[in-house]
Amino acid sequence: MASFSADLRAMVDLAKEDLRYVATQAIQDVLEGAQTTQRGITQGAESFEVGKIPVGLTSDLVNSLSIDGSTGPQAYVTAIAGMELGDVLTFEWTTPHAMPIEYGWTTSVGTIVPGRFFVGANAAKFPQFVEARAAEVRK
């Protein structure tokens, strides 16, 4: 019976490791997508791809990502690496223009500027990322 209990405990531990892997990698996939840059209007872009973050002269938007006090374009890597199942991480882009860039805005002369949805478009892919990462552990 002791052998069965040890085997069962080992299977539970392996399942937890697999769950942690799937969760951390899928979250990282979302953040990597949201932090994928494209040239901004101030850099001469004439169009944009929904789901990518525009980069202007200072890269202030991409550099404003903050996770639990850590900031910078790659701050999420360290936060996710230290994550345990059940942890809550908060990701935010802190520049004042982050929300208008995400959702769009209307200029003072009435021109509608569409949102880039760099967060929303990638967050919507979370179930796909989970499925892909789960397939990796099933192999």
pLDDT in tens, 3-14: 766 666 766 666
What global pTM score does this model have?
A: 0.85
Residue 20 belongs to what domain range?
2-138
For the chain, how many structural domains are there in total?
1
> Could you tell me which residues come within 8 angstroms of residue 36 by beta carbon, excluding any fewer than 6 positions away?
51, 52, 53, 118
The tokens describing 5, both together, are 């209990």
Task: Answer for the pair 53, 34: CB distance below 8 angstroms, yes or no.
Answer: yes
Mean pLDDT calculated for residue range 25-51:
89
